[in-house]
Amino acid sequence: MRIEILVFDGVDELDVLGPYEAWSLAAGQSDLEVVLVGLDGPAEITGNHGLQFKAPEGLGVPNAVLVPGGGWLTRAEQGAWAEARRGVLPARLAELAPELDWIGSVCTGSMLLAEAGLLKGRPATTNHSAWPELEAFGVELKKNRVVDDGTVVTSGGITAGLDLALHIVERKISPDVADQVADSLEYTRIRDVHVS
């Protein structure tokens, strides 16, 4: 299973790096592969807090895509809010989603899924400060850390991305591997998951 984490300037670093590390650890015990990708090809990214890193590839047609957030709540000039206003990223997600096993989000990455029309009428969550905005998209708001609606998996703010990543490991590989990854991270799992 190939998971592509879609990154862009202004992205919240922990939204990206938490799931990336968890899935990288799980990859040693499964066929899971995780890679950072830019929307329009390989990219050099500057995160919301100034961390600079590279996405070595562009968005392809993987088994799954994870969309992080960052910059939505502050209406930053770079980040999820800016990407929503630009419109290219939500349009690409809308086009790609039917080909995926699942599409997911961390924090306000769910606002990009909502902008793409992927959450209307479905249960989902986001950063607690953006709950009213998410509901305005016609989403059935759930206040859990992770909401699994089969082909769409969303998580709350920032650290909830670790819970999403571990939930996916449990769902796609095994509970034992998910627990082993959590132990390696020295992370106590918060099993606040709504499954539809």
Which of the following is catalytic: 16, 59, 80, 107? 107
Closest of 2, 5, 8, 22 to residue 160, by C-alpha? 22
DSSP for 83-94? HHHH-HHHHHHH
CA–CA dist 37, 103 (Å, integer): 14
Closest of 190, 166, 160, 162 to residue 178, by C-alpha? 166
Task: Reply yes or no on whether 107 is catalytic.
Answer: yes
Beta carbons within 8 Å of 72's beta carbon, 6+ residues apart:
79, 80, 81, 84, 107, 108, 111, 127, 130
102 phi, psi to nearest 5 deg? -160, 155
CA–CA dist 128, 130 (Å, integer): 5
Catalytic residues: 107
